[in-house]
Amino acid sequence: MLEIKGMKFPLDRKYYTKNGAHLWLKSEGEFIKIGMDAFAAEMMGLFTVINVDKKQVKQGEAIGSFESAKFISKLYSPISGKIIDVNDKILRNPFEINKKPYKSWIFKMKSKDNAENKYIMRDKDKILKWISKELEKVECNV
């Protein structure tokens, strides 16, 4: 477990970082669960709406959207594959992400492409460097 300024980042999963995304990926057999990390849960305010389309997608493609108290954005797929399931509990109560980001998966995918690349990381030192830079951006905007 990596902890930075009270935010925890479990090291049993990977993190998608492209364009300010803060998504985690956790492999479970042939499927990959995906949710938002502690940084998103802390910095974006209370999540109010999340929409996800079930479909075949490529990495970086918009798959839905989300709204929070501070932010409205598209939701992008961290990997290429097929979205096979969405977590209806989280879609009905997206604020659960703020309470328990790592238990609140948003969607599940089937993918053959779960390789690390410059936008997907697992290495503790790389995660620490990435989150530190993200915190600097936030602190500069305050």
Task: Specify the pLDDT at position 116.
Answer: 58
Residue 82 resides in a domain: yes
Domain enclosing residue 64, as ranges: 12-122
Residue 104 resides in a domain: yes
pLDDT digits (tens, 9 = 90+) for 117-132: 789 999 999 999 999 9
Residue 134 resides in a domain: no
Residue 130 resides in a domain: no
Residue 129 resides in a domain: no
Residue 139 resides in a domain: no
Low-confidence ranges of the chain (pLDDT < 70): 113-116, 141-142
Residue 138 resides in a domain: no
Task: Specify the pLDDT at position 99.
Answer: 97
User: For 27-34, which contacts have Cβ atoms below 8 Å and span 24 or more sequence positions?
Assistant: 27/114, 30/110, 31/84, 31/85, 31/108, 31/109, 31/110, 32/79, 32/81, 32/108, 32/109, 32/110, 32/111, 32/114, 33/105, 33/107, 33/108, 34/78, 34/105, 34/106, 34/107, 34/108, 34/109
Task: Specify the pLDDT at position 90.
Answer: 97
Residue 128 resides in a domain: no
Task: Specify the pLDDT at position 37.
Answer: 98
Look at the pTM and tell me if it is higher than 0.95. no
Task: Specify the pLDDT at position 61.
Answer: 93
- CATH code of the domain containing 28: 2.40.50.100
Task: Specify the pLDDT at position 117.
Answer: 74
- Total domain count, the chain: 1
